[in-house]
Structure 1
Amino acid sequence: MSKIRNSFFLMDNLKNKGGRPRLTAGKRSVKIVSRFTDDEYKQILALEKELGINRSQIIRTRVLHNAEMIVVNSKELIGHLDSIGAEMGRAGNNINQLARHANVIKLKGDLPPAVAEKFNSLLESYVGMQGVLEMSLRKIIRMMAK
């Protein structure tokens, strides 16, 4: 019998007495129940899978933090931003090729002044659009950081 008692006391000492400390502040203790149609629920499940965050976090973000804020699929956004960057690179390459060609023609003395003026106005327009795009991208990045 003493063997049984000794093993019982040993088992008691093996129990995990640690673990995560209990939350004192910020504990979510209130539960709100809401009903959704099958289609709405499927949309929430699709968002959950697509964004990689749980349903509660999706709903909490939409309702509490900023009703105007849109939950964004970051993978899709990065893909679009990557394609915009590639397109800007191609446009810059084309501009450099046109400028080089214009300089070669100018050295020969065959460049009409109207062509040079048109090129300069188009380049000025492109630089303005590039500035607007840059500001928009910075705005998107700031919104994503919130």
Structure 2
Amino acid sequence: MKSANLDKLIARGALRATDAAFAALQRDYDEFRPMSSLHEEDGKLVAYIGTKEGVKAGDKFDVFMCQKNDNEIEWKKVGTIKVAKNSVWDNQEGANETLEGEAEDGEKKEGNAELKYTIFDGKPGKKVGEGCLIRLAK
């Protein structure tokens, strides 16, 4: 194995280990729970988060809408959405790139590197849609 390839393997392994540590913190501590903006693509609810943030199919996210009150911005919970089955974006470092000497992943892979975002069940509506924030529910 060439040393340049070995360097890439080590760098990818270090990045993925760091991402996995943050993902574990996100599940256990409110301060680390992932938060992202919600978007609409082709009539679907989507967010640009994925396996790197520890998102799994079936995870529930609280949806928050911005409300302005006397020069203050308040985020009010307006609903909950769930990650659709087989719709988690694999956004890990090198997700769609195989390196020579890379170990086979023994676990079933959760995400799909071909996706460009994670898709949620449900349709955009009056309260849930573009401009809302989502945060992993407890």
**TM-score (normalizing by structure 1):** 0.29
Larger proportion of helix: 1
Larger proportion of strand: 2
